[in-house]
């Protein structure tokens, strides 16, 4: 094992998502001590979270322990902890004090765990936003973590089970309406996968109900789904969804959400399950950095960074991924996707290495490699730039290859390939496990008399 020099500069990376992990890799085996801090002990491949949520994959297929990923990098340490804020003047990262955090280098007078740094990369990511209605989260879970994915899987599968039970007991049937709020990539992926579950994966497993009668409704407030994509691909995606049996409602805005029902405009709709894919909010750590530096925040809570990804007045502090606000060549903010986070993480690390050699930082320039969104079995759309637009099976195969390529670890790639191959041949979804409570929020048959 390579000997670590305690005199080496110390770089702290907050967040082990794509931005943080690729920053750590870029600093691996360099003359710098690296501490990677995350509140989870695993890295989650977020583009495939919906596959866990819809029972196509198990959590272990898309998540890898952080320590396993970095164990070959002798200069990288890992700390399990949740960052609460920063003291940029003293160059300290503050962790929530109720957590025991081995490896913390200092404790301030309030008893709060802190870690000192010479360089800092904040790649804390984002969560879902409910546009000023946090109470809606209970009725409509979003999809950002493995815990979210498992809760969605539980609700979806449980809705079919409870409908079967009601029918067997001679009780009044309940409408199997599944609403997905938000027509971006996550909403489109969830809608297509749910349609495949209802019509192919479980249709022969139930005796009392016809799962194919379930309604999958995708609700989008704008005039088209996948609004970040060119119009021709949005239209293609809508056609492919409708071919799968998904109802697409455009220009429809949710005005209220409760367990078992939602209101679209003035119309109240009964719902077995509602899923949220309509908004994103950056980590609250952006607000902490903004207060310290005066850097502006956008409506989503992303913090404006300089052209080298650093913060004003603090050339030693970089922000990467979903938390960073930077415009691309088209004048629009860079999207919160994996490729942006990966490139920002790498660039932040390179600028730290340049600083170690007393060289000036370099301006970040995003290389847009295109966007792909899957819709269902053999259905997808892809914007590869320069008017190269693909859809259908070709786009689906491209999506398949790229996601396999970027999965962390050979074991994960092999498991996912085998799972997808089996599902393609049999339509079977092998991760159809209901864990946790057998109660579904708002299900009428479960209300206490």
The residues that are catalytic are 189
> Which DSSP string corresponds to 309-351?
SEETTEEEEEE-GGGEE-B-TTSSBPPSSHHHHHHHHHHHHHH
Alpha helices in 84-169 (DSSP H): 146-168
Q: What angle do CA 291, 295, 299 make, to 5 degrees?
A: 90
| SS3 at position 266 | coil
Residue 292 in tokens: 């310290």
Residue 66 in tokens: 């952080």
Residue 77 in tokens: 């340490």
d(CA 190, CA 152): 10
Q: Cα–chain-centroid distance for residue 109?
A: 36
| SS3 at position 163 | helix
d(CA 290, CA 304): 9
DSSP structure class, residue 445: G
Query: Cβ distance 176 to 271 under 8 Å?
Result: no
| SS3 at position 223 | coil
Residue 207 in tokens: 């005796």
Dmax over CA atoms of the chain, in Å, equals 77
d(CA 416, CA 60): 10
Q: Cα–chain-centroid distance for residue 98?
A: 27
* Residue among 206, 213, 214 at smallest CA distance from 168: 206
Distances (CA, A) of 325 to 80, 292, 293, 305, 344: 27, 17, 14, 6, 11
Residue 48 in tokens: 């495939």
SS3 content of the chain, % helix, strand, coil (to 5): 35, 25, 40
d(CA 154, CA 227): 30
d(CA 9, CA 2): 16
Query: Cβ distance 178 to 194 under 8 Å?
Result: yes
Q: Cα–chain-centroid distance for residue 363?
A: 27
């Amino acid at each position: 094992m390579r000997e670590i020099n305690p005199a080496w500069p110390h770089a702290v990376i907050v967040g082990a998502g794509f931005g943080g992990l690729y920053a750590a890799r870029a600093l691996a085996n360099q003359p710098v001590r690296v501490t990677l801090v995350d509140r989870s002990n695993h890295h989650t491949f977020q583009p495939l979270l919906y596959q866990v949520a819809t029972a196509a994959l198990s959590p272990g297929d898309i998540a890898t322990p952080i320590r396993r990923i970095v164990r070959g990098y002798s200069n990288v340490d890992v700390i399990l902890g949740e960052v609460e804020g920063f003291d940029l003047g003293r160059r300290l990262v503050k962790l929530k004090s109720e957590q025991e955090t081995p490896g913390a280098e200092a404790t301030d007078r309030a008893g709060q765990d802190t870690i000192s740094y010479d360089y800092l990369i904040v790649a804390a990511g984002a969560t879902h936003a409910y546009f000023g209605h946090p109470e809606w989260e209970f009725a409509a879970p979003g999809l950002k973590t493995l815990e979210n994915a498992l809760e969605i899987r539980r609700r979806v599968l449980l809705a079919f089970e409870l409908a079967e039970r009601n029918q067997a007991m001679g009780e009044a049937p309940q409408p199997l309406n599944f609403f997905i709020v938000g027509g971006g990539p996550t909403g489109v992926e969830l809608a297509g996968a749910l349609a495949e579950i209802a019509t192919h994966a479980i249709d022969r497993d139930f005796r009392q109900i016809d799962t194919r009668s379930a309604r999958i409704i995708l609700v989008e407030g704008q005039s088209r789904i996948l609004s970040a994509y060119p119009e021709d691909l949005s239209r293609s995606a809508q056609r492919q969804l409708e071919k799968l049996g998904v109802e697409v409602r455009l220009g429809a805005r949710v005005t209220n959400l409760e367990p078992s029902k939602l209101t679209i405009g003035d119309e109240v709709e009964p719902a077995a399950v509602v899923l949220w894919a309509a908004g994103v909010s950056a980590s609250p750590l952006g607000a902490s950095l903004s207060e310290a530096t005066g850097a502006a925040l956008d409506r989503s809570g992303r913090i404006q960074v300089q052209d080298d990804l650093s913060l004003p007045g603090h050339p030693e502090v970089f922000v990467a991924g979903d938390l960073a606000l930077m415009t691309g060549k088209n004048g629009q903010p860079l999207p919160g996707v994996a490729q942006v986070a990966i490139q920002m993480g790498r660039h932040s690390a390179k600028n730290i290495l340049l600083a170690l050699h007393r060289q000036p930082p370099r301006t970040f320039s995003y290389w847009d490699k295109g966007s792909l969104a899957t819709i269902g079995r053999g259905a997808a759309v892809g914007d590869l730039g320069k008017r190269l637009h693909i859809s259908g099976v070709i786009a689906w195969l491209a999506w398949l290859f790229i996601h396999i390529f970027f999965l962390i670890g050979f074991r994960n790639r092999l498991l996912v390939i085998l799972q997808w191959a089996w599902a393609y041949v049999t339509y079977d979804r092998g991760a159809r496990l209901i864990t946790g409570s057998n109660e579904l929020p708002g299900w009428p048959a479960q209300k206490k008399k």
